[in-house]
Amino acid sequence: MTHPNLIRRERAARPLLLDLFCCAGGAAMGYRRAGFDVVGVDIAPRPNYPFTFHRADALKYLADLMATGEIERFAFVHSSPPCQDKCNLTIGTNRSKGWGGTHVDLVPPTRVLLEASGLPYVIEQPNGRAKIRKDVWLCGEMFSLGVLRHRNFELGRWSVTQPAHPKHRGRVRGWRHGEFHDGPYVAPYGNGGGKPTVPELQTAMGITWTDVREELTEAIPPAFSQWLGTQFLTQVRAGVAV
């Protein structure tokens, strides 16, 4: 006979995760694989988002959840505020050549609301000058991916040990200063300079549900968030995390 506690565990609802600035769901898929149900929010239409989606201003949506008490349905919040203001490309090549426009840094107001929510959270940003704590950073080589895609994560109300960073196996494929370099990784940004095809990007990132280049180049690999989500849920089950 099946033990009643086992039945309760099998029927228990999966914890609900709020995915802010969700784009097409690279992070969402990883969290889903880790054990969460996911609700995404983005100001742009995202028909390829694989889970429940709300088109809205992410910070207003979060503030409304807090005001109504609906935030209590959620166990965790992931956020990926737009990074154009502080990412390496914007503050480097683009700014030096006068390219691009003015961008608003949404990290500080995102953090304020996340802190007020009372929930454990993640703020994700690429390498650059974004003012977040780099509590943990991840690289595609840690997961044997075809991209490097270094990403930094600020962790609120929980923590995790930084994993080891394996040595890169070679260069990122593409043109640099008029010279073509081959290598085991593709560059998940832009269009020229020997950039990968959409199928190559899908394979390298581990993302199959969208074939929109812009969505692929903005995504984090699901392997990153699956690792984060698994670490958090393991701590919850062990009584370590909130």
With a pLDDT cut of 70, the percent of the chain lying above it is 86
Q: What is the pLDDT of residue 192?
A: 74
**According to the 3-state scheme, what is the secondary structure of the chain?**
CCCHHHHHHHHCCCCEEEEECCCCCHHHHHHHHHCCEEEEEECCCCCCCCCEEEECCHHHHHHHHHHHCHHHHCCEEEECCCCCCCEHHHHHHHHHCCCCCCCCCCHHHHHHHHHHHCCCEEEEEECECCCCCCCEEECHHHHCCCCCCCEEEEEECCCCCCCCCCCCCCCECEEECCEEECCCECCCCCCCCCCCCHHHHHHHHCCCCCCCHHHHHHCCCHHHHHHHHHHHHHHHHCCCCC
Q: Over range 101-130, report the average pLDDT.
A: 92
pLDDT tens for 49-80 read 999 999 999 999 999 999 999 999 999 999 99
Residue 100 has pLDDT above 60, yes or no: no
pLDDT tens column, 175-210 = 988 999 999 999 999 887 789 999 999 999 999 999
Judge whether residue 8 has pLDDT over 80.
Answer: no
Mean pLDDT of the chain: 90
pTM for this prediction: 0.88
Q: What is the structure's pLDDT at 54?
A: 98
Tell me: pLDDT of 22 over 80: yes
Query: pLDDT, tens digit, for every residue of 126-183?
Result: 998 889 999 999 999 999 999 999 999 999 999 999 999 999 999 999 998 899 999 9
